[in-house]
């Protein structure tokens, strides 16, 4: 299925968020983006930030399954909010409303008014994860070609892109069909323990350290916020952790 770009309505942006930089800034929030290799924090419009976080969570599942490399953000080479007009135009840029972001700009991801494609440091799987959450890749434009640019454009056609289904997602973390309900498991990395199966303001206490012992309460996984969650018990408290961060073997 062919892709087709449909921009988020500029009129809607002006109506919702105002027509001045000062007004727009009042809506922005800071989001943490984790490409699997490192993490950055950046100010974005919430309608975009929430989806971008989900897209990266989706991509990290591919990294974990070994079908894509971890993505590394280069220091000082990622930009989102900028109150300006588009190149060679009087129209306000989507960056002015922080629903667009440039990754590792010109290092090597670039821009070409003629449409000549350059090198990029992300893979097709990276683009698919973005597309699955309504984010358009400027590398799919012809003129101009804008390989560094990713933009919230949920009304676009993304060629049938869907969130990634992890390997063995319907199976217990042991990789077999053996039930692990009631079995002891361990956190393989520092992990937030949450009261519900989603990312949000629902963390129970402090971040749990790598190697923490948990008890699995179910073989059934809940998918939300781009992750598969397992219901577990830590101490005397019941909650949820990301299943990819669990193992039946104690980490070294």
Listing DSSP states for 163-213 in one string gives: ----TTTTS-TTSSSS--TT-EEEESS-B--BSSSSSSS-B-SSPBPTT-E
CA distance 65 to 7: 33
Fold of domain 184-247? SH3 type barrels. (2.30.30)
pTM of the model: 0.70
Distance, CA of 186 to chain centre: 25
Q: What tens-digit pLDDT sequence spans the chain (252 residues)?
A: 689 999 999 999 999 999 999 999 999 999 999 999 999 999 999 999 999 999 999 999 999 889 999 999 999 999 999 999 877 766 789 999 999 999 999 999 999 999 999 999 999 999 999 999 999 999 999 889 999 999 999 999 999 999 998 875 544 444 444 688 899 999 998 999 999 998 888 999 999 999 999 999 988 888 887 688 999 999 999 999 998 889 888 888
Question: Coil, strand, or helix at residue 47?
Answer: helix
The count of other CB atoms within 10 Å of the CB of residue 115 is 11
């Amino acid at each position: 299925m062919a892709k087709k770009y449909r921009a988020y309505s500029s009129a809607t942006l002006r109506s919702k968020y105002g027509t001045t930089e000062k007004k727009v800034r009042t809506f922005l929030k800071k989001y943490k983006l984790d490409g699997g290799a490192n993490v950055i924090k950046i100010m974005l419009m919430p309608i975009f930030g929430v989806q971008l976080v989900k897209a990266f969570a989706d991509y990290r599942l591919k990294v974990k399954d070994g079908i894509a490399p971890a993505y590394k953000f280069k220091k000082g080479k990622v930009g989102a909010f900028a109150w300006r007009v588009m190149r060679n135009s009087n129209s306000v840029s989507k960056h002015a409303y922080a629903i667009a972001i440039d990754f590792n700009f010109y290092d090597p991801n670039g821009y070409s008014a003629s449409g000549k494609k350059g090198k990029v440091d992300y893979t097709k799987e990276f683009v698919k994860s973005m597309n699955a959450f309504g984010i358009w890749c400027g590398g799919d434009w012809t003129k101009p070609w804008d390989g560094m640019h990713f933009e919230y454009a949920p009304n676009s056609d993304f060629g049938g892109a869907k969130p990634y289904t992890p390997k063995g997602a319907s199976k217990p973390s042991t990789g077999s069909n053996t039930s692990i309900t009631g079995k002891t498991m361990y956190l393989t990395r520092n992990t937030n323990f949450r009261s519900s199966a989603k990312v949000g303001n629902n963390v129970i206490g402090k971040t749990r350290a790598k190697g923490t012992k948990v008890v699995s309460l179910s073989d059934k996984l809940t998918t939300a916020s781009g992750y598969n969650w397992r219901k577990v018990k830590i101490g005397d408290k019941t909650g949820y952790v990301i299943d990819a961060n669990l193992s039946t073997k104690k980490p070294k």
